[in-house]
């Protein structure tokens, strides 16, 4: 009786051929599924880029509606802040002026301050953070500011953002996406 129980236990195992078939099936499934995950990651980055560009465009447009100029076109420093606030920084046409004017309270002339009052520094802030968001594709938040009204993508790949103070055009500056900058820009 003891020999029959031992024989049944041996017969319950898998053969080498059966194990090979299972491994081959798993390899085929992995070869099909793994590229799908890579594609999904790229799609998510492009979707995040579209969302970021839309949010930045909305902030730039609201600033323009309230000031009649695009952020960064006017000087942001030099304001006398209420309640001991900190003045913004940046000369006209600079990334610092653009960032200060979108992330701080501003007066009608674009001077920026960290505190508000109901009379002078009553506009903004237009962004929740004091820094620009990272470009989701390159993970860089640097800003190149143009002032000529004819914004084109720079020739260096993998930058953050490029912005024109005359037109308000804000683009993801990464020539690996689209050399013309058209497909990934918000106008």
Domain boundaries defined on the chain:
52-182
Cβ within 8 Å of residue 108, ≥6 positions away? 67, 123
What are 33-90's pLDDT values in tens digits? 877 776 777 788 889 999 999 999 999 999 999 999 999 999 999 888 988 899 999 9
Omega before 62 within 30 of 0, i.e. cis: no
**pTM (2 decimals)?**
0.73
Residue 48 pLDDT: 92
Q: Are 136 and 49 in contact (CB under 8 A)?
A: yes
Between residues 14 and 99, which one has the greater pLDDT?
99
What are 118-171's pLDDT values in tens digits? 999 999 999 998 889 999 988 888 888 888 877 665 555 567 898 999 999 998
Residue 182 pLDDT: 41
Start-to-end C-alpha separation, the chain = 85
Residue 8 pLDDT: 56
Residue bearing tokens 């900190």:
86
Query: What DSSP designation does 74 have?
Result: S
Residue 95 pLDDT: 93
Tokens representing 94 are 């600079």
The long-range contacts involving 126-130, CB below 8 angstroms and separated by at least 24 positions, are 126/59, 126/60, 126/62, 126/63, 126/71, 126/101, 126/102, 127/59, 127/102, 127/103, 129/103, 130/99, 130/103, 130/104
Tokens representing 68 are 């009649």
The pLDDT-based confidence of 186 (bands split at 50, 70, 90) is very low
Residue 9 pLDDT: 56
Q: Are 88 and 104 in contact (CB under 8 A)?
A: yes
């Amino acid at each position: 009786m003891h020999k029959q129980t031992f024989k049944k236990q041996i017969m319950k195992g898998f053969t080498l051929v059966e194990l090979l078939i299972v491994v081959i099936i798993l390899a085929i499934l992995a070869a099909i599924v793994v590229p799908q995950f890579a594609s999904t990651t790229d799609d998510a980055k492009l979707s995040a880029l579209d969302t970021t560009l839309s949010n930045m465009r909305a902030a730039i447009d609201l600033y323009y509606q309230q000031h009649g100029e695009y952020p960064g076109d006017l000087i942001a420093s030099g304001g006398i802040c209420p309640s001991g606030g900190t003045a913004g920084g940046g000369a006209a046409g600079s990334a610092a002026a653009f960032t200060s004017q979108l992330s701080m309270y501003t007066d009608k002339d674009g001077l920026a301050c960290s505190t508000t009052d109901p009379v002078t520094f009553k506009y903004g802030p237009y962004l929740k953070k004091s820094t620009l968001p990272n470009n989701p594709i390159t993970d860089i938040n640097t800003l190149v500011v143009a002032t000529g009204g004819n914004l084109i993508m720079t020739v260096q790949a993998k930058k953050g953002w490029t912005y024109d103070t005359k037109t308000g055009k804000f683009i993801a500056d990464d020539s690996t996406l689209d050399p013309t900058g058209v497909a990934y820009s918000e106008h």
